[in-house]
Amino acid sequence: MKPSHKLLFVLCPMLVLGFIYYSSGKLHLHVWGQKPLYDKQGFLLKLDGQLPAELAYKYGNLSEGVCKPGYAAAKMTAIYPKFMKPAPMFLDRNFKRLAKVRNYLPPFGFKTQERIIDSILTATKNYGLGEVLDSLGCKRCIIVGNGGILANKSLGSRIDDYDIVVRLNEAPVTGFGKDVGTKTTMRITYPEGAIQKPERYEKDSLFVFSAFKPLDFKWLRQMVYKEKLRGTEGFWKSVAHYVPREPTEMRILNPYFIQEAAFQFIGLPLNNGLMGKGNIPTLGTVAITMALHNCDEVVVAGFGYDMNMPHAPLHYYETVKMSAIKESWTHNISKEKEFLRKLVRANIITDLTNGI
Ligand SMILES: CC(=O)N[C@H]1[C@H]([C@H](O)[C@H](O)CO)O[C@](OP(=O)(O)OC[C@H]2O[C@@H](n3ccc(N)nc3=O)[C@H](O)[C@@H]2O)(C(=O)O)C[C@@H]1O
Ligand SMILES: CC(=O)N[C@@H]1[C@@H](O)[C@H](O[C@@H]2O[C@H](CO)[C@H](O)[C@H](O)[C@H]2O)[C@@H](CO)O[C@H]1O
């Protein structure tokens, strides 16, 4: 056989195999002649909230109100096959092994911050929720957003019923118990969002830190080691000078939840992996993402940016108006809402205040 024929002999099957491989990848999303099954983000287009047969069998017989182990993650996988449940809530001493975050700078990872994180984790010594919650076989979590929609709905006692109550930034409980409850398992925040008055911190709650820039880790180290805050330049707003929590009550939120919410779930611009215009999810959505990985059931309340009500109160605890969110250049409220609505429509999360 001529060498040129030999070459053709090898090349042709390779081309055919290559074509089959390529089209099978496409077929996963798009069966020829049929409408696509999944959207650009990888979510099933048909979201009717129905349980797939195997889940109906698993959960169907449990009576109302009983915690369903693995429910949120199972439903998430049913509409978003790429979902991989394991992702620790907080960074622990092995954080450098977390492959998905080690090569991204804050806020999408911890690259360049390894030493300072090591030093913070040496002092906090604890990396979980605590013995009681960590050993629960099934965890029901509620993420309480700060939205004005929580006012006058008397949801306080329902909120307090959850195993884990997550609150955000400076949202108060004192004086608002009837509507937002009194229990706080953890409060997730960053320097500019943290409660500033020491007396406003609730006891028995974890101070969970979410970092957006390298300076935020510096601030946290000073708070953990109870040092005098040196220099507040570089923050976009005034920050707390003292956090009245023991180091053992402080945690660092896994930055993977910011990354996954931004790039996988919402589809915000990658911007070379750097924080930029409109590529930061709001903290509430980051908290929901964390809960999808770490809670068996996920419920939310106090969520909703309603652009049709520009004069409605933005928060349940102050008079700032809804229209104020338009000034934010970091978030993409409408794209984010599209994602949250998928979770609600598919019954992955329950929205107690119906604002999503
Ligand atoms: C001016 C500004 O930057 N505001 C941001 C404020 C501000 O930094 C803090 O209040 C501290 O002062 O923080 C944010 O959020 P904020 O602290 O307002 O609220 C916490 C989370 O609740 C959800 N939320 C809030 C209000 C509302 N009407 N609907 C909602 O759904 C959101 O998921 C929100 O994340 C933040 O960190 O995400 C988002 C806001 O964009
Ligand atoms: C680099 C930098 O500090 N950018 C600031 C943003 O982080 C900040 O956005 C705010 O960033 C916060 C994290 O630090 C939260 O994500 C918050 O929801 C968001 O609004 C804006 C506020 O107007 O100011 C910029 O100068």
ipTM: 0.98
C-alpha span between 129 and 175 (Å, rounded): 26
CA of 19 to the centre of ligand 1 (A): 48
Q: How confident is the model at residue 114 (pLDDT cuts 50, 70, 90)?
A: very high
CA distances from 46 to 25, 80, 231 (A): 21, 11, 52
What pLDDT is recorded for position 26? 47
Q: How confident is the model at residue 60 (pLDDT cuts 50, 70, 90)?
A: confident
C-alpha span between 258 and 261 (Å, rounded): 5
Instruction: Provide the sign of the torsion angle of the four alpha carbons 307, 311, 316, 319, taken in this order.
Output: positive
Do 147 and 316 touch, CB atoms closer than 8 A? Answer: yes
User: What is the mean pLDDT of the segment spanning 2-7?
Assistant: 68
C-alpha span between 205 and 244 (Å, rounded): 11
Q: How confident is the model at residue 138 (pLDDT cuts 50, 70, 90)?
A: very high
Which among 259, 275, 287 is positioned nearest to 100, based on CA atoms? 259
User: What is the mean pLDDT of the segment spanning 21-40?
Assistant: 68
CA distances from 2 to 5, 6, 7, 8, 13 (A): 5, 6, 9, 10, 18
Do 120 and 126 touch, CB atoms closer than 8 A? Answer: no
C-alpha span between 207 and 188 (Å, rounded): 6
CA distances from 140 to 85, 129, 202, 264 (A): 16, 14, 21, 24
From 143, 149, 153, 169, the mutation candidate for ligand 1 (largest count of ligand atoms within 8 A of CB) is 169
Residue nearest to atom 18 of ligand 2 (CA): 282
- Global pTM reads 0.93
Q: 223-267: per-residue pLDDT in tens?
A: 999 999 988 899 999 999 999 999 999 999 999 999 999 999 999
Residues at CB less than 6 angstroms from ligand 2: 190, 192, 212-213, 236, 280, 282, 328, 330
Is the pLDDT confidence value at 326 over 50? yes
